[in-house]
């Protein structure tokens, strides 16, 4: 039993339908909502939950797992042999060191002198560059983060004057932002939320509009990725920050204008997750107009917001709206090669693969996932959407497709070699 008296779907030998119902209600979703997003009726959902219909096939189970953000298939199926993490990857070998640094009491006495802010900023710039250029970006960033976290915290504690302290808080907020990229989709959701909240506090203390925008952008994503029950919270953070930034944009730097554009697209992303087609594309249009006002070669170092990214964002909107044909059309129009960040390029390839899969082109989807793996293996390894496609096609009736999917599954650690 849980603390509120409801059965725990992980502790008791419940059947699939009961687990489905409990996980759905915990996400705050109605049968009509779930059925609509699955292309089924509310009565179909009820029939599965009550056992009047048998357990669906694997492809449907995987779609349900994706929709409910189930992190391990065994949570939904009850089969403890299916320890397949969908929306979290295996704990990275650098995670423990990052956890230790982030969890350390930040006012502990130390005799070390904090590095100059200029030095911290230079290290952060190198870390962001490494994240965008390295195929094993989690490995590289994970090695840099522990010292960055400790030194940035130390810089805040040792700042004597208010201007110095605000500058140090801005650097600390950026370190926490970088940390969230490393921690995301790893098996420590509590740490992700602690770091996100600390980043918001540091950004507010810095009074730096860019730092505030980046922290809000990441917080909105964390809320949205928690499931439909948190979509309103994502919008609240997103839209409040846009209202704060709007009066500043006329005289703002490119970075501030870019983070406003990134937040505008995020509002569209959340609308697409809700299935609100008109609202999603309206925000995308607004974001595109904001991107067009940036220099052609500008690329935001954190969010990747730029002219080049808008084609990729269009694919994402179409995919989240479950419009396979439109997603493919946008994928053909988008120029993947103009995205300089390897993990962002891999993420775009995964979104393209989702579009092809929705459009009934599984072979093209697998080819596109191979390209994602080539761009950044540590991106696709932690992506639940990519893993769902691979696992589904590993059960394909086509021997050739089944073999291709199985080979990719081995690369992702989903199947033994």
More confident residue, 90 or 10: 90
- The whole-number pLDDT of residue 280 equals 98
pLDDT at residue 71 is higher than 90 = no
Q: Per-residue confidence at 10, pLDDT binned at 50, 70, 90?
A: very low
In this structure, are residues 74 and 118 in contact, taking their beta carbons and an 8 Å threshold? no
- The whole-number pLDDT of residue 84 equals 61
Across 74-78, average pLDDT: 81
For the stretch 39-63, pLDDT in tens is 899 999 999 999 888 888 887 888 8
- The whole-number pLDDT of residue 91 equals 84
In this structure, are residues 405 and 390 in contact, taking their beta carbons and an 8 Å threshold? yes
- The whole-number pLDDT of residue 363 equals 97
3-state secondary structure the chain: CCCCCCCCCCCCCCCHHHHHHHHHHHCCCCHHHHHHHHCCCHHHHHHHHHCCCCCCCHHHHHHHHHHCCCCEHHHHHCCCCCCCECCCCCCCCCHHHHHHHHHCCCCCCCCCCCCCHHHHHHHHHHHHHHHHHCCCHHHHHHHHHHHHHHHHHHHHHHCCCHHHHHHHHHHHHHHHHHHHHHHCCCCCHHHHHHHHHHHHHHHHHHCCHHHHHHHHHHHHHHHHHCCHHHHHHHHHHHHHHHHHHHHHHHHCCHHHHHHHHHHHHHHHHHHHHHCCHHHHHHHHHHHHHHHHCCCCCCCCCCCCCCCCCHHHHHHHHHHHCCCHHHHHHHHHHCCHHHCCCHHHHHHHHHHHHHHHHHCCCHHHHHHHHHHHHHHCHHHHCCCHHHHHHHHHHCCCCCHHHHHHHHHHHHHCCCCCC
- The whole-number pLDDT of residue 67 equals 83
Q: Per-residue confidence at 88, pLDDT binned at 50, 70, 90?
A: low
Question: Which of 193, 151, 149 minimizes the C-alpha distance to 175?
Answer: 149
16-20, 72-76, 122-126, 180-184: least confident range:
72-76
For the stretch 352-375, pLDDT in tens is 999 999 999 999 999 999 999 999
Q: Per-residue confidence at 74, pLDDT binned at 50, 70, 90?
A: confident
- The whole-number pLDDT of residue 83 equals 60
Q: Per-residue confidence at 320, pLDDT binned at 50, 70, 90?
A: very high
Percent of the chain at pLDDT > 90 equals 71
pLDDT at residue 85 is higher than 80 = no
Mean of the per-residue pLDDT values of the chain: 90
- The whole-number pLDDT of residue 87 equals 66
Domain boundaries, the chain: 16-77, 91-207, 208-307
- The whole-number pLDDT of residue 378 equals 93
Question: Which of 95, 88, 101 minimizes the C-alpha distance to 138?
Answer: 95
167-176, 313-322, 334-343, 373-382: least confident range:
334-343
Q: Per-residue confidence at 3, pLDDT binned at 50, 70, 90?
A: very low
More confident residue, 334 or 215: 215
pLDDT at residue 161 is higher than 60 = yes
Which residues, at least 6 apart from 188, have a Cβ–Cβ distance to it below 8 Å?
Answer: 91, 95, 99
pLDDT at residue 398 is higher than 50 = yes
Q: Does domain 16-77 have CATH number 1.10.10.10?
A: no
- The whole-number pLDDT of residue 351 equals 97
pLDDT at residue 6 is higher than 60 = no
pLDDT at residue 82 is higher than 80 = no
- The whole-number pLDDT of residue 90 equals 67
pLDDT at residue 269 is higher than 90 = yes
- The whole-number pLDDT of residue 61 equals 87
pTM as predicted? 0.84
Q: Per-residue confidence at 108, pLDDT binned at 50, 70, 90?
A: low
Rg (CA), the chain: 22
For the stretch 201-241, pLDDT in tens is 999 999 999 999 999 999 999 999 888 889 999 999 999 99
């Amino acid at each position: 039993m849980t603390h509120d008296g409801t059965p725990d779907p992980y502790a008791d030998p419940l059947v699939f339908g009961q687990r489905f119902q409990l996980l759905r209600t915990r996400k705050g979703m109605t049968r009509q909502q779930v059925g609509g997003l699955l292309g089924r009726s509310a009565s179909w959902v009820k029939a599965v939950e009550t056992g009047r219909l048998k357990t669906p096939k694997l492809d449907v189970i995987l779609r349900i797992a994706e929709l409910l953000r189930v992190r391990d298939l065994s949570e939904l199926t009850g089969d403890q042999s299916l320890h397949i993490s969908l929306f979290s990857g295996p704990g990275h070998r650098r995670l423990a060191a990052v956890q230790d640094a982030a969890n350390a009491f930040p006012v502990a006495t130390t005799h070390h002198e904090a590095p100059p802010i200029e030095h911290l900023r230079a290290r952060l710039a190198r870390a962001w560059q490494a994240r965008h250029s390295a195929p094993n970006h989690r490995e590289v960033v994970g090695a840099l983060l522990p010292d960055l976290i400790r030194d940035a915290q130390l810089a805040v504690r040792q700042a004597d004057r208010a201007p110095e302290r605000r500058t140090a808080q801005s650097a600390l907020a950026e370190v926490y932002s970088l940390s969230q990229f490393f921690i995301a989709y790893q098996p420590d959701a509590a740490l992700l939320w602690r770091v996100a909240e600390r980043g918001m506090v540091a950004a507010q203390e810095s009074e730096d509009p860019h730092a505030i925008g980046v922290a809000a952008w990441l917080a909105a994503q964390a809320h949205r990725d928690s499931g439909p029950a948190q979509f309103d919270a994502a919008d609240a953070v997103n839209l409040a920050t846009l209202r704060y930034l709007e009066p500043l944009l006329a005289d703002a730097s490119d970075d501030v204008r870019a983070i406003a554009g990134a937040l505008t697209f995020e509002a569209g992303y959340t609308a697409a997750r809700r299935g609100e087609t008109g609202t999603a594309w309206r925000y995308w249009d607004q974001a595109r107009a904001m991107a067009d006002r940036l220099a052609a070669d500008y690329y935001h170092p954190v969010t990747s917001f730029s002219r080049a990214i808008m084609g990729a964002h269009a694919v994402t909107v179409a995919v989240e709206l479950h419009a396979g044909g439109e997603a493919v059309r946008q994928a053909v129009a988008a120029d993947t090669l103009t995205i300089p960040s390897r993990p962002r390029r891999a993420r775009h390839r995964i979104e393209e693969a989702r579009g092809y899969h929705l459009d009934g082109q599984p072979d093209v989807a697998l080819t596109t996932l191979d390209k994602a793996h080539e761009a950044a293996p540590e991106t696709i390894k932690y992506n639940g959407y990519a893993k769902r496609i691979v696992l589904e096609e590993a059960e394909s009736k086509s021997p050739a497709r089944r073999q291709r999917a199985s080979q990719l599954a081995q690369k992702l650690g989903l199947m033994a070699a």
